[in-house]
Amino acid sequence: MTDTRALYIEQRVANESRSALVAYLLWFFLGYFGAHRFYLGRWISGVIMLALFGIGSALAFILVGYIPLALVAIWWVIDAFLIPGMIAADRAVLRWRISQGY
């Protein structure tokens, strides 16, 4: 691969990859709904997080809903440390796709 091609690939990766700032803003403001996971392309876990939050909110009045809400809260805190890895994985996949010509 030539230097020009490598620079082209890195420029496209920089332009097209997900933003860490946007991911953290979504995590902070809408994290209990899984919005940051939807943004980062983790649809299944985003739906699970949203469902747990919805079930927990619906059942909180009978005190059973606090268990799923606690799970979502723990998951939310852990995601603060996982977001950089998710963005790095997204960039690696994007870099591979561009280098393959997709």
Amino acid at 79: D
* Total structural domains within the chain: 1
Averaged pLDDT of the chain: 96
71-83 residue pLDDT tens: 999 999 999 999 9
Is residue 33 assigned to a domain?
yes
Tell me whether residue 5 is in a domain. Answer: no
8 A C-beta contact, residue 54 and residue 46: no
CA atoms within 13 A on the CB side of 73: 8
Q: Is residue 80 part of a domain?
A: yes
The pair of structure tokens assigned to 99 is 């280098």
Which pLDDT tens digit goes with each residue over 41-67?
999 999 999 999 999 999 999 999 999
Residue 72 counted as domain residue? yes
pLDDT at 1 over 70: no
Name the residue range of residue 50's domain: 19-89
State mean pLDDT over 18-43: 97
Cα 52 from Cα 73, distance rounded (Å): 10
Whole-prediction pTM value?
0.90
- The pLDDT assigned to 2 comes to 87
Give just the sign of the alpha carbon dihedral 4, 5, 6, 11: positive
